[in-house]
Chains A and B, each alone.
Chain A
Amino acid sequence: MSMNSEGRVTRPETLAAADAPATFTGNRALMLEEALIFERDDYARTGVDIAEAPATSSRLGGLERHRAIGLPGLTEPEAVRHYTRLSRQNYAIDLGLFPLGSCTMKHNPRLNEKMARLPGFADIHPLAPVDTVQGALAVIDELAQWLVTLTGMHAVAMSPKAGAHGELCGLLAIRAAHDAAGSDRSMILVPESAHGTNPATAAFCGYKVENIPATADGRVDLDALTARLGPDVAGVMITNPNTCGLFERDMKRISDAVHAAGGYVYCDGANFNAIVGRVRPGDLGIDAMHINLHKTFSTPHGGGGPGSGPVVLSAALAPYAPLPFVAKQPDGSFRLIEEETADQDHPGSFGRMSAFHGQMGMFTRALTYILSHGADGLRQVAGDAVLNANYVLRSLDGLLDAPFGPSGPCMHEALFSDDGLAPGFTTLDIAKGLIDEGFHPMTMYFPLVVHGAMLIEPTETEGKAALDQFVGALRSVAERAKAGDEALKAAPAFAPRRRLDETAAARKPVLVWKDETLPQAAE
């Protein structure tokens, strides 16, 4: 019997065998067992006709490959079935509620997809002459105007490709501003209530990072932050609403203190969906903030991406924004500001972050979402996101411990701890129990300030019936964990694989499938 280090079975057949006979194929009705694509045995076959390569002289200097590289041979139906079968084993936002806290897994409206597929947007190339793609540039410009207006900021850099890339953009702008002022500040302060990518971004930019503790009610400790400010502090990275699901009420005072000490304020805007249409970050003194189009503005996320992370900038940081960007001409046409003319048009730029202009397909989708909701609709998005999260929070009252529940309403996500579970039962058991109930688990063990954290973001796209079903499932699993139901320790019971040995996977990771009997790629 295959067991993990905690003595739990890891293969379905070992437990389920008692009640159900094994099948010849390993399939269980419509739940199909699928081998890895490399475990197929025909490497000589191909489903594609490829023309003979024309004879050309090699310019590879003797580095050409001569041996087979071991690609599996599949016909077209085999390839289609392989990936379709795998997709059936996945969980997706199109299948059900996806409560992954801090990730905002919400519905991707099909109207977005229809607009993005219009040939005028879908079939253009980033190197096409600017006068042939004026409509696409108009989309970028109009979306940029919306983002600047919604955030109350001065400018926006559209090219960052996702949240962490946006953080990098913001910190590079802060660094460029300090460089321009002849300052060599080396420290970025990051509160404990910030996203985990924030300290990583600061470190990647060469800054030293210091944590600022959270208060007992889950917010930035203003006194500790103010006390730490000084001539070495380049800036502060704050997530607001923060990753405890709370609004940082002292944000304006924090910004004022940081500015008074000569630093800049970066805000992680991943949770902007909780405040869009209601709070303008510019009014809170923020200098740079990324906006996850794949969260707040409903573009695909989690396998369906790519992400997109435009960064809004204050007047102080706008001169350092990256190239390229779209500029509207007096005659109403659009042009791209790039390196060729940057000396006159935008001399302070810290440079370029990506080859082209950003995620065009995501811009089209996000603008579709914005225009189909309108300003009042976006305001309602934030209201519904917060309402749904509070419905989940209060529906667990008396059953799961909500460490910041007494602090008042949460924002877009509800945070629980493992306090009160039966001895030996953990957050992991609740997550695995939710898989049996047909849900993707919530975010676990993050944020670190809460023991055994469970972070749940239902998003505004779930109705009351869906929330009630999820709450019912979570309550059922939580009651089992509090009662010490041993069967829960073996969950998931109904998934194609039982509980996996995460410790062994982390200690001895096998990252590349290899079979020595097959032809190997030339070294």
Chain B
Amino acid sequence: MTTYYTEDHEWIAVEGGTATVGITDYAQAQLGDIVFVELPAPGTNVAKGGEAAVVESVKAASDVFAPVTGTVSEANGALEEDPALVNSAPEGDGWFFKLALADPAELDGLMDAAAYKAFCDSL
């Protein structure tokens, strides 16, 4: 499994032709307590860079963008009951949705963990 990162602070963990998407620890720390997550329905087609989900904290509501193009295969229903999972385990149980990749070559433009850390340090 390989994990990639975007400049909009999403992570995408890829295994074969499917990927899991969420927001990074840096993103959840910036947002503060998450109070609501709106997820795409399975079967939704999302385009790279397009709006895929909404995350709302006590401070602000933000769009979550699809890191790559694909079709949503599963949404993390646990977040509806317990959005705090995004704060406690952003890159684990707090995942947002799973995606069937349309074009794995799109992953090439994303950052690896080291590049993302350097990117956050530069902010």
Contact = CB atoms under 8 A, between A and B. Distances in A.
Interface of A: 5, 444-446, 448, 451, 502-503, 506-507
Interface string B11-38: 0000000000000000000100101100
A446 B36 CA distance: 19
Contacts of B35: 503, 506-507
15 contacts: A5-B33, A445-B59, A445-B60, A446-B60, A451-B30, A503-B35, A506-B33, A506-B35, A506-B36, A506-B56, A506-B58, A507-B35, A507-B36, A507-B83, A507-B84
Contacts of B84: 507
Interface residues of B, number: 10
Interface of B: 30, 33, 35-36, 56, 58-60, 83-84
Contacts of A5: 33
Contacts of B33: 5, 502-503, 506
B60 A502 contact: no
A444 B84 CA distance: 22
A506 B60 CA distance: 12
Contacts of A451: 30
Contacts of A502: 33, 58
Given A445-B59, A451-B30, A506-B36, 10 more contacts: A444-B59, A445-B60, A448-B60, A503-B33, A503-B35, A506-B33, A506-B56, A506-B58, A507-B36, A507-B84
Nearest to A444: B59
A469 B30 CA distance: 32
Contacts of B83: 507
A258 to B, nearest CB: 24
Nearest to A508: B35
Contacts of B59: 444-445
A360 B33 CA distance: 43
B67 to A, nearest CB: 18
Nearest to B81: A507
Most chain A beta carbons < 10 A, residue from B33, B36, B56, B60: B33
Of the candidates B56, B59, B83, the one having the most CB atoms from chain A within 10 angstroms of its own CB is: B59
A210 to B, nearest CB: 11
In the A-B complex, the 9 residue pairs with the smallest Cβ-Cβ separation, listed nearest first, are A506-B35, A503-B33, A445-B59, A507-B35, A502-B58, A503-B58, A448-B60, A506-B58, A445-B60
A506 B35 CA distance: 6
Contacts of A448: 60
B89 to A, nearest CB: 17
A155 B83 CA distance: 49
A203 to B, nearest CB: 11
Contacts of B60: 445-446, 448
Contacts of A445: 59-60
A514 to B, nearest CB: 22
Nearest to B56: A506
A344 to B, nearest CB: 46
A502 B60 CA distance: 13
A138 B51 CA distance: 49
Contacts of B30: 451
B79 to A, nearest CB: 11
A444 B59 CA distance: 8
Nearest to A506: B35
A446 B58 CA distance: 12
Contacts of A503: 33, 35, 58
A451 B59 CA distance: 11
A214 to B, nearest CB: 15
A432 to B, nearest CB: 13
A454 to B, nearest CB: 12
Nearest to A211: B63
Nearest to B84: A507
A322 to B, nearest CB: 30
A421 to B, nearest CB: 14
A507 B83 CA distance: 8
B77 to A, nearest CB: 16
A506 B56 CA distance: 10
